[in-house]
Amino acid sequence: MRSLLLRREVSCVEVVGACLQRIAQSPLNAFVSVCPERALRQACAVDERIARHRAGMLAGLAIGVKDNINVRGWKTTCASRHLADYVAPFHATAVRRLLRQDAIVLGKTNMDEFAMGSSGESSHFGPTRNPHCLERVPGGSSSGSAAAVAAREVWAALGSDTGGSVRQPASFCGVVGLKPTYGRVSRYGLVAFGSSLDQIGPLTLSVQDCALVLQVIAGHDPHEATSSRLPVLDWQRELDRGISGLRLGRPAEYFQPPASAEVRDAVDATLAQLVGAGAGVEEISLPHTDYAVATYYVTCTAEASSNLARFDGMRYGARSAANDLDETYVATRTLGFGPEVKRRILLGCFVLSAGHYQAYYDKAQRVRTLIAQDFARAFEKVDCLVTPTAPTTAFRMGKRTVNPLTMYLSDVYTVSASLCGLPAISVPCGRDANGLPIGLQVIGKPFDEGTVLRVARAVEIARGQR
Amino acid sequence: MAEGLEAVIGLEVHVQLLTASKLFCGCSTAFGAAPNTQVCPVCLGLPGALPVLNRRAVELALRLGLALGCEIDRHCRFARKQYFYPDLPKGYQITQFWAPLCCGGRMEFEVDGTPRSVRLRHAHLEEDAGRSVHAEAYVAEDETLVDLNRCGVPLVEIVTEPELHSPREAACFVAELRRLLRCLGVSDGQMERGSLRCDANVSIRPKGAPDQGVATEIKNLNSLRALERALATEVARQVAVRGQGEAVSHQTLCWDAAAQAVAVMRDKEYAHDYRYSPEPDLPPACIPERWIEKLRRALPELPLARKRRLEREYGLPPERAYLLTDDSSLADYFEAVAKAVGVPQLACNWMTGAVARTAKQLHVSIAEFPVPASSLAKLLVEVRDGALSDHAARQVLSTMIATGRPVEDLLASRGTSLPRPEVGRVIEEVLFQHSTLVSGYRQGKKQLFGFFIGEVMRKLPDEADPQEVRALLQERLAGPPADPEGD
């Protein structure tokens, strides 16, 4: 697509027009809002820059942005009733960097409300559907971003990953999804959910595209105190190096139930192919894996209860009138937030409360350290870890919304990397009996996106992709 | 105080740091701007905005901590303190909880000449909240408006141990703290602008009892007078409650300055749970030893130490020494003059008399005072030697200020003056040449006066008496507007 655009065999206006048409006819509900005028206006401008050979690295490429990432002058709803009319006054740093390289933002993608959910069903604007089977969920919370890329409604999309929200929907929709190292991409302009876990990441059709988007959005940001000063690399070039000599770890704990046999077999079969490409595989143990989901949910709900306190209806957002100040807060938040968000705020308030802090939050942070030590030990032996992304393929809509705990288990293989801030990617590695995509996850050392991307590329090659 | 009882007072002092920008964003901290004009996504807590720590604020807090002899925590870590309040946009305040930047330490001060010392619990960095506005002319009766200009303004909260035993002591402590803050350049300490605010915990106990007893907290005392009065009122109230055999209850109070009374804000029956949590948006900032050492070396002599030294070295009475050390440039000026003249009492009299008065009239601080210490010293040497009367010296001083002429010239030309007609002629000439400036002056540009003086003096031989020129010029300029055509 890039080369077609740059050779001017097709214009940006044509590409954007085609994407907009696809979106308009789509049954997926992948977008919360689309702005055709804005996109076409920008496409015209980029066409001109291409003609003058002044175009940026992403010239003319259509992008979707998860609706919890600010685009200036555009609604940022977080798929919540509370923010249904909130217009962001500033760009997220990642968005600014995409626009600077002439990417064209077509729309804001659907998601679980405030990025809380693993199925894409908790949006105020209705659920997103899986392009491989409309009766199944696309995964979450970056449901719209994954579905839109899989259905080729956009070239790439930004998602946010707190406990697997980029990787798990990428797995369910059969696309590539990367959660960079914590601090690699600025969080400025991303509406915070779990601040110590949140990271913006790209969803794309190929590993190559993923590397390109990462290169554009990564790097230090003076507006973000946790953003890293490490240099941004040309990760696309890394991909050609192959994986010969790399040592891949196979953590035993990730190849047991709840992972389905189909998922385990597909990942193992791919591992065998990677060995054929010159990599070595070693059995690894991450003994604290069992505690990861509990640790994650204590941590992220605690942070969410704090981060969502600002949505009080005082300065922006929907305010519900009531008799006095306290009642106004209660009425506003009762009406504005959906059930999953309320559940997590309550959980978070509970684990931070003076009487329970030691038993829950503080304990969770200690376990978090133990999990990080598991990984550090593993990385003394291997260069990266290869695991399933999710225990199953996409499940049917409505199936897990009844019992939230079953939903939380969808994240069992993704949360550990989030707790430890490690880079991790999901790449398609096969299909189940129903033809649904299976995702393989590669987890790397801190700031070693290069190795993660190389292994993901090797998976693509093993599956016969260009 | 009733027999056998003593008051136990602990203070929490909030001090606004003297930074140009806020603690976590680049917004201005200037006082008095129109509501909500010094705000950005960060201090408004808009979705997606993140804080970035202001290095200068940390530096000022460190400077204060070092001056008070605190232990410095070498990792500057922050926490979130959660509470819902309309003028707290994020729903939490970023503050320090588990590890305050400065721990321990003590502060020395004097109560009417008696040395006292209070231990400090800690001093920590935090951001200020906004301001809810009611009871203003432009606010309807049932409305509350919110001004978020103060949101994110950097504060240091200094918490003392409950070791103060009278309202007077508490006031003296805060007064000395304010002198210290100003001397260090850490804060302007202006209570009326909210850059120094006090909360006080107060209780009554049998003298020497081991624990503090049930304390009440008086919030937002915004002047030394209010602090002393509120404490005195509250101590008396508690003594009375005790006298009736009742127990003091755990309450939060506020001081009503108009009624000179304390009022109950809320009963503290139910303790607030702030749900403290680590601030994940700000990684711990490591403070290098080198930085701390550099700041330690740059500490000036502190006001109390200096006051005592001035008493000792120059034999000054305590009140005078206190006055002179209220502002370190005043003390610097005094010491320079006193050393040169050799009679500290003379220098002190002039500093606290004519110099202070003139500076006040000119609306300048002593650091901006137009006459350098060396010039004043030369003048005072004449006074010391009896060559000049006090009165004459004061005239020379005001001439120096009015004309900017060096003291040597004025001393040389003292007593001589030109005949009036000559001066009058030159004045008329100057005013004629600058008739547009004259009308400017008469329309209010009073700063032109110095220019006219300068012009007249330039055209006159050196012996001219500036006092006379000044008087004549003032008289002439006060007349009817000059008519440039007819003159």
Judged against a pLDDT cut of 60, whether residue B416 lies above it is answered with no
Smallest CA–CA distance, residue A450 to chain B, in Å, is: 25
Please report residues of A whose CB lies closer than 8 A to that of B277: 302-303, 306, 352, 361
Residue A441 near residue A386 (C-beta atoms within 8 A): yes
- Residue A228 near chain B (CB below 8 Å): no
- Residue A346 near chain B (CB below 8 Å): no
* Interface mutation target, options A305, A312, A346, A418, chain B, most CBs of B under 10 Å: A312
H or E element that contains B126: strand B114-127
Judged against a pLDDT cut of 90, whether residue A200 lies above it is answered with yes
Please report residues of A whose CB lies closer than 8 A to that of B45: 310
- B91 and A83 within 8 Å at the Cβ level: the answer is no
Tens of pLDDT, residue by residue over A60-103, are: 999 999 999 999 999 999 999 999 999 999 999 999 999 999 99
Pick from B420, B413, B434, B421: nearest CA to B482 = B434
Pick from B337, B327, B405: nearest CA to B366 = B327
- A305 and B275 within 8 Å at the Cβ level: the answer is yes
CA distance A218 to A210: 12
CA distance A201 to A87: 22
pLDDT at B29: 96
Pick from A179, A182, A144, A183: nearest CA to A161 = A179
Residues in chain A: 466
Indicate which residues of A carry an active-site annotation.
Answer: 66, 141, 165
The CA-atom distances, in angstroms, between B445 and each of B363, B429, B450, B456 are 17, 20, 11, 18
Please report residues of A whose CB lies closer than 8 A to that of B281: 192, 195, 225-226
Of A70, A88, A196, the CB nearest to B280: A196
Smallest CA–CA distance, residue B9 to chain A, in Å, is: 27
Residue in chain B nearest A299 by alpha carbon: B277
pLDDT at B205: 92
Q: A165 or B457, which is more confident?
A: A165
- B50 and A89 within 8 Å at the Cβ level: the answer is no
Tens of pLDDT, residue by residue over B189-245, are: 999 999 999 999 999 999 888 888 899 999 989 899 999 999 999 999 999 998 899
User: Averaged over B104-117, what is the pLDDT?
Assistant: 95
Q: Which of the residue ranges A51-60, A402-411, B122-131, B184-193 would you say has the lowest mean pLDDT?
A: A402-411
Please report residues of B whose CB lies closer than 8 A to that of A160: none
pLDDT at B462: 63
- Residue A86 near chain B (CB below 8 Å): yes
- B47 and A315 within 8 Å at the Cβ level: the answer is no
The size of the A-B interface in CB pairs under 8 A is 97
Q: Which pLDDT band holds residue A190 (cuts at 50, 70, 90)? A: very high
Please report residues of A whose CB lies closer than 8 A to that of B41: 89-90
CA distance B358 to B399: 12
Pick from B468, B367, B353: nearest CA to B410 = B468
pLDDT at B482: 41
User: Averaged over B111-123, what is the pLDDT?
Assistant: 95
- Taking an 8 Å Cβ-Cβ cutoff, which residues of chain B contact chain A? 41, 44-53, 80, 82, 84, 86, 89-92, 146, 273, 275-277, 280-283
- A90 and B273 within 8 Å at the Cβ level: the answer is no
Please report residues of B whose CB lies closer than 8 A to that of A361: 277
pLDDT at A105: 97
Pick from A447, A427, A445, A424: nearest CA to A437 = A427
- Residue A83 near chain B (CB below 8 Å): yes
Q: Which of the residue ranges A204-213, B2-11, B261-270 would you say has the lowest mean pLDDT?
A: B261-270
Please report residues of A whose CB lies closer than 8 A to that of B39: none
Of A222, A309, A326, the CB nearest to B90: A309
